[in-house]
């Protein structure tokens, strides 16, 4: 069975500082994809970043980077230079064998 664990229900960060959102996963599959999504208060799900299980380099997309540690089964999201608009709920997800599993989410609040 697949499982995603996000241990931080809520996080606070000062504007312009970096923040790391934790995500650990559990799967017996060798091939899988890891995703991070942002869900603002409007409810839509915004794709942020993707890491394939066979990718050797950590994925980066603008201010977002994924700290992928395969042996530890962790896929933490790092947001650099936080902005007020980054305040939202963040979901870590894994897809494998055509199925997606989501974590419970982390609510990030950026303080001015």
Q: Given candidates 27, 48, 91, 108, which one binds other proteins under the rule CB under 8 A?
A: 91
Q: Given candidates 45, 64, 73, 78, which one binds other proteins under the rule CB under 8 A?
A: 45
The answer to whether the CB of 77 falls within 8 A of the CB of 69 is: no
Token code pair at residue 34: 């890891």
63 CB contacts (<8 Å, ≥6 apart)? Answer: 79, 80, 81
x-or-dash string of contact with other proteins, 23-42, rule CB under 8 A? --------xxx-x-x-----
Parallel, antiparallel or unpaired: strands 106-111 and 88-96: antiparallel
- Report in angstroms how near the CB of residue 45 gets to other proteins at its nearest: 4
Q: Given candidates 8, 20, 58, 102, which one binds other proteins under the rule CB under 8 A?
A: 102
For 97, counting Cβ atoms within 10 Å of its Cβ (0-12 exposed, 13-18 middle, 19+ buried), the class is exposed
Determine if 64 is a binding residue for other proteins (CB under 8 A). no
Question: Residues in the site for other proteins, rule: CB under 8 A?
Answer: 31-33, 35, 37, 43-45, 47, 50, 52, 91, 93, 95-96, 98-100, 102-105
């Amino acid at each position: 069975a697949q499982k995603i664990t996000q241990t931080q229900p809520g996080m606070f960060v000062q504007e312009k500082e970096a923040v790391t959102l934790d995500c650990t996963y559990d799967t017996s599959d060798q091939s899988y994809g890891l995703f991070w999504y942002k869900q603002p208060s409007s409810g839509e799900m915004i794709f942020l970043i993707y890491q394939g299980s066979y990718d050797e380099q950590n994925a980066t997309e603008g201010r977002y980077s994924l700290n992928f540690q395969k042996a530890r089964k962790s896929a933490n999201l790092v947001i650099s230079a936080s902005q007020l608009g980054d305040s939202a709920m963040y979901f870590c997800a894994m897809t494998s064998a055509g199925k997606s599993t989501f974590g419970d989410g982390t609510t990030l609040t950026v303080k001015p």
